[in-house]
Structure 1
Amino acid sequence: MDLDLRKVRYFTAVAEQLHFGRAAESLHIAQPVLSRQIRALEKDLDARLFERDSHGVTLTSAGRQLLDDARHLLATADATRRRVLRAARGPRRLVVGFRAGVVVTGALRAFGAAHPDVEVKARRIEWDDQEQLVLDGTVDLAYVRRPIREQGLTLVPLFSESRVAMLPGDHRLAGKRELVLADLEGEQWLRYSDPGPDDLPIRTIEEKFECVAAGTGITLVPQSVAEQYSRPDIAYVPVLDAEPDQVFLAWEAGRGAPLISHFARIAQEQG
């Protein structure tokens, strides 16, 4: 039996909140209706997905597996819907995501010359949404940097580049020609994920500038960022033993669209 995506959405809401009442409210349906849909899904799958007792709701092992798969399944369905609507409303389009520092102009021009009937767009993406924007169809493919959550993606390595320390302009090491990681021991490093309750995660290069210039901390960035972004109150110094930054081209696994394949070939040729 084919999976009913509506039931999977209902299941995901309950699984993420572990509360039928709150899940029903978020879905704008009555709780008895939600309970019936979950029981129907369990019958379809011939597996119990939740344990319900006086202490609340917990996922079974089958439920945990379905939740892992459901997020990718629903993202793929949403991406398909978005691409179909986009095609119905106008000319064919290819949207390419890119991280700060990555230059995509040459690849976009080469692809556009080969496909004059296709509208080519570029969209800046950040470290915390690079995978999701590919999986939900916001971009068709993207230049991404490690770390990467690889589930559901096809990844093609393109190039690597050295990394440099981003320091306040008046930092004690700002005038050095080069550094090693040991020179940076004891420094305060910027935090990007798992912020405290009163913190916001640092997402963009502009936010990094402000934090570093203010003396909040230092960070490492790819060499291309240093080449493209400059400020008088920011200094960049090469760090010789820092792990290189790797850039990949990513698109949804299993999606074999000819336009994506052609763009991937161009991106690999240009490196």
Structure 2
Amino acid sequence: MNAPAPSRQPPPTRTASTHAAAVLVSGPFDDLRSHHVRFLQEAARRGPVTVLLWTDDAIVRFHGQPPRFPFPERLYLLKALRFVHNVVPVANPDHPDPSLLPTGPLLWIEPPFPEHQPPPPKHPNLETFRLAEADLAGFPLPEPLPADPRRKKVVVTGCYDWLHSGHVRFFEEVSALGNLYVVVGNDANVRALKGPGHPLQSQDERRYMVAAIRYVTETFISSGQGWLDADPEIRRLRPEIYAVNEDGDKGGKREYCAQMGIQYVVLKRTPAPGLPARSSTQLRGF
């Protein structure tokens, strides 16, 4: 039996003394993980978030080594998050160009995790605030996006362990077909299909990361088993389209869709323009 779905209500948090019209955060956001996304989610509760994203050269200067993921890929991932309003490249995090900052009152939010943070920029209308570890507890799901009744329902399924730019590109492409519903594989079934060591992240964490992507309408955790573990969810959703990438075109899905009267769409695994191809197996190393 699956664990209960995580609450959609974020945990209690401290609030800054003054509401800001715009929120600023700064960092490399290399190897984007759930704690980064939780930080951005909490920052977004206080206003539209502008991320001052460090260039590759800036990361080398601050950390002494290049990032694991190049700037265009980090930029692509951040822009795909529901909690990010704008991303501004900064070559000098200690002294960002004032003309790059939003106008009006600003709130500078610092994360609790141990990453080098530059000082807040000098600005007459800027307030600073540091989040605590407790503010980022759990994986509170954002509300589902409003579904456009004029568009078809599209379902995709998968593990989505270690969410990467290839997953996001797949969601982006599939969302062009209709309102996108993602069924994330439950832990027990992923383990049964992929073997020991899988998944690296729990079903709640994997679902949370998928739900944070702006192309996704709503997410679920599968309640079945095998390659068609999402069958109970698909029967409830009644989608018009089931989309997979080339690697996912197996396990009887094509025959299942023919039996259910669902259009079956297979997309090629093509990275976003200018980005390298990614796979969870490649990133995990097994």
Category of TM-score, reference length = shorter chain: under 0.3
With the length of structure 1 as denominator, give the TM-score of the two structures. Answer: 0.24
Greater length-normalized contact order (CA 8 Å, ≥ 6 residues apart): 1
With the length of structure 2 as denominator, give the TM-score of the two structures. Answer: 0.23
- Normalized per residue, which structure has more helix? 1
